[in-house]
Chains A and B, each alone.
Chain A
Amino acid sequence: MNRRYRISPEGRPQEPTDAEIARYRDPKRLVYNYHRATRLFHRRPLYKDPKAFLALLLIVLLAWFISEVVDKEHQAKAPPATDQVTE
């Protein structure tokens, strides 16, 4: 990042007055954002919630079950292995 300075007789545009600055003040939004930030920061991990934990467990079990079924189907379709006779 380059920093460049511009020096002129008037400098920046006129500074806002106290009344104009007061319009940007919003203490309610600040407190709301604070609570939002702290809630996100202290949020309980998903696996520590019993309901979410059960749901995650169910998904994992279902995935495992499906993979087992698919695996067995593949084995059933494959031709039986034959012993090779060597002379």
Chain B
Amino acid sequence: MTPQEEVHIARAKSDPEAFAPLYELHFATIFRFILRRANDRELAADLTQQTFLKAMLSLSRYEPRGLPFRAWLYRIALNELKMYWRKRREVVIDMSYAEVRGLSEEVGLPGQDEDMRRLAMALSKLKEDAARLIELRYMDGMSFAELGSVLGIGEDAAKMRTHRVLATLRTYLSPRA
């Protein structure tokens, strides 16, 4: 977190109007983060607005503790998406070949069309927490440190969890599965 961002946060805690610079700074990032999952611009705009409103309302309870402010916003955005998805029976998440290239290399898939179909099926079998971790790491391209700060765990724990999820994915992709 930049010192300027810290100043904005401190000011916004006592004056809601002072939240504007933080909103301007992070709006596009949070909008894109939500859009990657929501697949609808209007919906993404609504959920982004809701994310910032929740952030403003609970800003007094926010403590930096060395974590980036953006990670806190990501966490709120994920909660907003979860609440929105609760009303739906199925959620479809689109990913491009480029986004899953790193993932397919990690699980040992050459990257042919058929492999991508198998990978999509294996991802769909993952539990929600595991799937979210894969999305944050490969779709959003987060580092383990950033991943840890969004999930509220340490960097090493994030690394370990990712390796565990990758092992589960390999099991799902093995010919016997």
Contact surface of A with B, Cβ cutoff 8 Å = 1-13, 15-16, 18, 21-22, 24-27, 29-31, 33-35, 37-38
24 of the cross-chain contacts (CB-CB < 8 Å) are A1-B85, A1-B86, A1-B88, A1-B89, A3-B93, A5-B95, A5-B119, A5-B124, A6-B92, A6-B93, A6-B120, A7-B94, A7-B97, A11-B99, A12-B39, A15-B35, A21-B28, A25-B23, A26-B49, A27-B24, A30-B23, A33-B49, A34-B19, A34-B56
A21 to chain B, nearest CB (A): 5
- Given contacts A1-B90, A34-B16, A37-B53, A7 and B96 within 8 Å (CB-CB): yes
- Given contacts A3-B93, A7-B96, A31 and B88 within 8 Å (CB-CB): no
Contact surface of B with A, Cβ cutoff 8 Å = 16-17, 19-20, 23-24, 27-28, 31-32, 35-36, 39, 41, 44-45, 48-49, 52-53, 56-57, 85-86, 88-100, 116-117, 119-121, 123-124, 126, 128, 131
Q: Which residues of A contact B20 (CB under 8 A)?
A: 27, 31
Q: Which residues of A contact B36 (CB under 8 A)?
A: 12
Known: A3-B93, A27-B23, A30-B19. 16 other contacts (CB 8 A): A1-B88, A3-B131, A5-B124, A7-B97, A8-B96, A9-B97, A10-B96, A11-B95, A21-B28, A21-B32, A24-B44, A24-B48, A27-B24, A31-B17, A31-B19, A37-B57
Contact of B128 among A3, A24, A30 (CB under 8 A): A3
Q: Which residues of B contact A5 (CB under 8 A)?
A: 92-95, 119-121, 123-124
B164 to chain A, nearest CB (A): 18
Residue of A7, A10, A34, A38 most packed against chain B (CB within 10 A)? A7
- Given contacts A1-B89, A27-B23, A38 and B96 within 8 Å (CB-CB): no
B16 — nearest CB in chain A belongs to which residue?
A34
Q: Are A11 and B98 in contact (CB under 8 A)?
A: yes
B42 — nearest CB in chain A belongs to which residue?
A24
Interface of chain B, main secondary structure:
helix
A16 — nearest CB in chain B belongs to which residue?
B41
